[in-house]
A and B are shown apart, each in its own frame.
Chain A
Amino acid sequence: MIKIDNLSVAFDGPEVVKNVSFTIGDGEILGVVGESGSGKSVTALTLMGLVAESAHVTSGEIYYDDQLLLKAGQPRNNALYRQYQGLKMSMVFQEPMTSLNPTMKVGAQVEEVLLLHDKQDPKAPTQSKSKAPAGNLAKSAKSESAEAKAKAEAKADAEKKQRPAKEASKNALLAWHERRVQEKEDRKRRVLEALLNVGLKDAQRVYDSYPHQLSGGMRQRVMIAMAVILHPGLIVADEPTTALDVTVQNQIIDLLRKINHEQKNSLLFITHDLNLARRLCDRILVMQDGCIVEEGATEDIFCDPRGDYTKKLISAVPGRTGKKKTSNSSTTPLVEVHDLNVYYRENANSLFGKTVKKCIVKDANFEVYEGEILGLVGESGCGKTTLSKAMLGLNKMIDGRIVHHSNSPQMVFQDPYSSLNPTKTVGWLLQEPLRAQGILDPSKAMTEKDRVAAAYDMLHKVGLKDKYYARRPSQLSGGQRQRISIGQALITRPGLVIADEPVSALDVTIQAQILDLIRSLQEELKTAFLFISHDINVIYQVSDRIMVMKDGKILEIGETEEVFRNPQDAYTKELLR
């Protein structure tokens, strides 16, 4: 149905998509996988005709049902594209927070798709419901089909000749008004239907809501409703589940599969998550640096990958097999948490408003043992980070007891771009914990020379070369920054390091490297880790014991293998699905 032939796209400079050719069959789900910067999104945007003006198509052609959409060297035919965008192909974006207009009600936004395309769409489902040709003006006005409209106009014209012109125009005006009302009601009905179809049960409420009143998953459903309301032949979904929680992600995948099944439209599914692609797609393209490196049926790719890159990518995906045996057997508690409640003060926005104290973490009881990696898994907003901040002493509004049996714990954050001071060099950053320690406790003060030596030592430990010592964070990649963050946390040899989603912002292959690094450093230095993640597979790969959290409560805690083989709680089962 879609044929892309030898497509290359360049922004000012080198090509970001190189000689890409592929086809999408009718009703097929094609997955495009690759790391960030591999040209997945640019390919999709070029296909949709949405790529920025600064991008140049340097070679290739795009066909939709044998209709040439785009050819290298010719300017994009925007008029032609407008007939296709939304009507025959539509797109679902990654970020549900920004892809809906925050100032418009959701219903009106979905309706806009109908307003723009309905007249050009003779196959719209409304037509099938149109009534038989009407006998008089008022009746015919109620029918929605273009045919009936034409007849009514013809009749109005005929009547015009017989009756006084004034009455005719009055009738026509009334009829026009009635028709508009009817069309409007009809559109609303169709929008509500579409919202119901994507699993939004309370469609009427959603219709009248603003985007900020809906959750991320609901917004993504609205986006999907917008994309499928006109039954386009092709839906392009660019990382539609990346910004969502795991359980919501499962639902959206199910929904996409259901729509594909019911409407028989093709789906181009772009993702960096190989597990998702495996579950949803019929066929998969693997992209690297703008080239397609492998193409084939999903199971063939996963069971028998041919390219080196594909092999690397698949082995990097955290799975639930091939885990290193854990050697930790210590049960000496390093941190004890007893009956911990953590609160969060919601500040009053008005002058006389009361500040409200919200309980985020409820009755937490657990211990972190010496030299173990304790995995903490849960959805966003479940209180993982709040709990970790309380353990670090950054949040003082707590009930209960936290007993530390070692020196102050350190932290590694999720975002490698904001957790290093951008104005300092790597060497300075690595030395700073030692300096601070020296100032606090003069007995531990080190000379400049010792500090530099320790910093170089740590730089090697986290797998970076000497030349990075004088660089600034902006000159490092995300993975390298995360290495420095880990080094900075470990350089004072703390008993416990809390790692809050340390690999969530990284590509799969980098993610695997960082996980390896954490494991090997943990074995070498015997530091205990509290490893927080939303990704159950990552947690499986790295941790000795697992703690599952939901809505501020710890549901389950136990040995990794134990929890995976025999989950006790219904929520854990859902997570493990």
Chain B
Amino acid sequence: MKKVAGWFKKQNKYFLVGLAMTGLAVVLGILSFFWTPYGPTTMSAAERFNAPSFRHVFGTDNFGRDIFSRVMQGIGTTVIVSSLIVVISAGAGILIGAITGYFGGILDEAIMRVTDAVNAFPSILLALVVISILGSGKQNVIFSLGIVFTPSYVRIVRSEFIRLRDADFVCRARLMGVKKLRILFVHILPNIFSVFWVSVTIGFNNAILAESGMSYLGIGVQPPDASLGKMLSDAQGYLGRAPWYALAPGLTIVWIVLGFSLLSEGIRRKEASKK
């Protein structure tokens, strides 16, 4: 018990508040796979547009479905989809950015022009094009948004690698005869953590918003599955009649994005204080 209290004392407030907010959201999302207060797709004609009450914490929607249960399910979908988007785009970003930044040359030029081209289109529009080729659905949203978000990571990782590739300690590692891949990923990569982490945070938040946007446009998660964006889009017809229908998923998105931002700021500060 003392150990736990000591650990809490050591953490900064950003980290603790962020952890609490994201933790709550993630727990609800995971819980939704096993249990929700009501079936997320169970309709009830008698309970349409019920205002929030003890029976239905967030109220009910136009089909009489429990909004809280649907938000729980929506969190699960949204968090998983956006995490995968970040993993794909950040992973590809590190790989491409590290290699182009460290080695430079023709390959670097070519890849940078491609990323320029990708950056030139609005991200949602580009994702729409990819989806119109692949067809809609969860996997395709993940894949297309993953591609769309890659260039921003490439740019950040590349510029950091360019900055560090001639640093004294890298120069000395080269003299010691350290292999190139080891220099790239063991010597340099940990040094770009703080910059990279900030972009992951922003990327994760963007992914949540983009996924919600795609679902809002009706090409992301397909009904009857719940997603926060899809719920927002469904709710817009009933804004005056049942404002809680839109508020619940909207505020949940704000909650997750804010919580994750605080969490990552806390982690960044912890890392910075270590150095």
A residues with CB within 8 A of B: 392, 394, 408-411, 413, 415, 418-424, 432-433, 436-437, 439-440, 472, 474, 485, 488-489, 492
With both chains docked as a complex, state the minimum distance between the C-beta of B94 and any C-beta of chain A, in angstroms: 16
B171 touches A394 (CB 8 A): yes
Chain B residues with CB under 8 A of A420: 169
B168 with A437: CB separation less than 8 A: no
CB contacts under 8 Å to A, within B8-53, are none
What 18 new A-B contacts, CB under 8 Å, besides A394-B174, A409-B175, A437-B176? A394-B171, A394-B175, A410-B175, A410-B176, A411-B171, A418-B168, A419-B168, A421-B173, A421-B190, A421-B191, A422-B191, A433-B176, A436-B178, A436-B179, A437-B177, A439-B177, A485-B172, A492-B176
A392 proximity list for chain B (CB < 8 A): 175
Determine whether B134 belongs to the interface, using a CB cutoff of 8 Å to chain A: no
Could you tell me how many residues of chain B have their Cβ less than 8 Å away from some Cβ of chain A? 19
Please name the 10 residue pairs, one residue from A and one from B, whose CB atoms are nearest each other, closest first: A419-B168, A423-B190, A436-B178, A433-B176, A413-B168, A436-B176, A421-B169, A418-B168, A440-B177, A436-B177
Closest to A433 in B: B176
B187 on the A face (CB < 8 A): yes
A/B interface sample: 11 pairs, CB < 8 A: A410-B172, A410-B176, A411-B172, A413-B172, A418-B169, A421-B190, A432-B173, A436-B173, A439-B177, A440-B179, A474-B275
Residues of B close to A421: CB separation below 8 A: 169, 173, 187, 190-191
CB neighbours (8 Å) of A422 from chain B are: 191, 275
CA distance A421 to B190 in the complex (A): 9
CA distance A432 to B169 in the complex (A): 12
Q: Looking across the interface, which residue of chain A has its beta carbon closest to that of B166? A: A394
- Assess whether B187 is in contact with A472, with CB atoms less than 8 Å apart: no
Q: How far is the CA of A410 from the CA of B274 in the complex (A)?
A: 29
**Residue in A closest to B193 when the chains form the complex, CB atoms:** A423
B167 at the interface (CB under 8 A from A): yes
- Chain B residues in the interface with A (C-beta under 8 A): 167-169, 171-179, 182, 187, 190-191, 193, 274-275
Residues in A with CB closer than 8 Å to B167 are 418
Cross-interface CB contact of A423 among B172, B174, B191, cutoff 8 Å: B191
Closest residue to B178 on the A side, CB-wise? A436
Shortest Cβ gap from A344 to chain B (Å): 14
Task: Give the distance in Å from the alpha carbon of A84 to the alpha carbon of B211 in the complex.
Answer: 64
Nearest residue in A to B171 (C-beta to C-beta)?
A: A394
Complex CA gap A172/B137 in Å reads 84
- B177 proximity list for chain A (CB < 8 A): 408, 436-437, 439-440
Q: How far is the CB of A307 from chain B (nearest CB, A)?
A: 37
Docked CA distance A526–B190 (Å):
36
Q: Is the CB of A439 within 8 A of B175?
A: no
A394 and B168 CA atoms in complex are apart in Å by 12
| A411 contacts across to B, CB distance below 8 A | 171-172, 175
Contact A415/B178 with A422-B275, A423-B190 known, Cβ cut-off 8 Å: no
**Contacts A394-B174, A472-B275; is A439 near B179 (CB within 8 Å)?**
yes
Best-buried of A394, A421, A422, A488 by chain B (most CB within 10 Å)? A421
How far apart are the CA atoms of A383 and B69 in the complex, in Å?
72
How far does the alpha carbon of A411 sit from the alpha carbon of B174 in the complex, in Å? 10
In the complex, how many angstroms separate the beta carbon of A476 from the nearest chain B beta carbon?
A: 12
What residues of A have a CB within 8 angstroms of the CB of B178 in the complex? 432, 436, 439
Residues of B within 8 A of A423 (CB): 190-191, 193
Nearest opposing residue in chain A for B188, CB measure: A421
Given A394-B174, A472-B275, A474-B275, A419:B169 Cβ within 8 A: yes
Which residues of chain B are near A408, meaning CB under 8 Å? 175, 177
